[in-house]
Amino acid sequence: MLKSLTKFIFIILTFLILILIVSPFLFDKKKIVLLINEKIKSEFKFDVNFDEDINISLFPLPLIKLKDVNIEDNRQGLGVKIFEVEISSSW
């Protein structure tokens, strides 16, 4: 009984880890780029441009890496260039 329970738990954990590792490849990165741009523009009224080759990971924590980020606020005359930004969250 204990041996089968241990085996079951091991299989479930292995399956979950595999899903967390493979799932970033299943996301539509272009859609994520559009959603990020729309959210920043609607919330902060900034124009944000960044490289569309973003990195997404879910393990150990959800993380998005954006490269070559350009933020422009024409109302204030602000222009910022950032090499890389990491946006992370916790479970």
CB atoms within 10 A of CB 66: 20
What is the per-residue pLDDT across 77-89, written as a single tens digit (0 to 9) for each?
888 898 998 888 8
What is the per-residue pLDDT across 41-73, written as a single tens digit (0 to 9) for each?
888 888 888 887 888 887 778 888 888 888 888
Average pLDDT, the chain: 83
**Entry pTM:** 0.61
Q: Which residue has the tokens 């959800």?
A: 62
Q: Which residue has the tokens 């490269």?
A: 67
Residues 42, 47, 51, CA angle at the centre, nearest 5°? 115
Residue 56: CA atoms inside 13 Å, Cβ hemisphere, count? 16
Cis ω for the linkage preceding 24 (within 30 of 0):
no
